Amino acid sequence: MTTVIVDYESGNLHSAEKAFQRMAAETGAGAVVVTADPEVVATAERVVLPGDGAFPACRRALFARAGLFEALEEAALRRARPFLGICIGMQMLASRGMEYAETPGFDWIPGTVERIAPADAALKVPHMGWNDLVVDRPHPVLEGIATGDHAYFVHSYQMRLADPAHRLAHADYGGPVTAVVGRDTILGTQFHPEKSQATGLRLIANFLRWRP
């Protein structure tokens, strides 16, 4: 059983790899592999898509690697393998992003990625640091994670969903900020689970155990 972390030179792969390897060892979830090989991605049991930086740059980097997006589609959509997008990896699941220029997303979870606009002018953007989660809907990957648990965020844009049922958790930052999204076998976290200590490690372990 293999969990693939997709390497397209746009994510914090070292810390993500270490966190997933640690929890895979604890849960007996098998190997964790970092790769850009489309064949390995397409046949993985689970796929993790990290992403740091800006939406357009991440999308360009991903699509510059021949066959990689098609491999993600094969794994997540056609084979219905558990898929987790992290930070920009989550944002790219949306229909489009509005950072710098309108940029198409995967359109796997319909919505638009827009700049955070806190109601309180004293709150700065980017939304950076620790914040409490508010759990909106139960999900196996959120098992043992409760409203008030902390997660680590670094972002200036957030996902505004076409269907509110796809929002599993949010944070309050001068208004609700989408924190976890999901539909079918596809999930995304705006926060970085690999940097979110106990909350993040629990989410990773739950993802590795998840058998949708």
Residues designated catalytic: 87, 192, 194
With a CB cutoff of 8 Å and minimum separation 6, the contacts of 122 are none
Residues 6+ apart with CB under 8 A from 1: 29, 30, 31, 45
Query: What is the residue type of 22?
Result: R
Cα–Cα distance, 190 to 52 (Å, whole number): 11
User: How many residues are listed for the chain in this entry?
Assistant: 212
Q: Helices then strands (H, E): number in the chain?
A: 6, 14
- DSSP-derived 3-state class of residue 173: coil
d(CA 183, CA 95): 14
Give the distance from CA 38 to its chain's centroid: 19
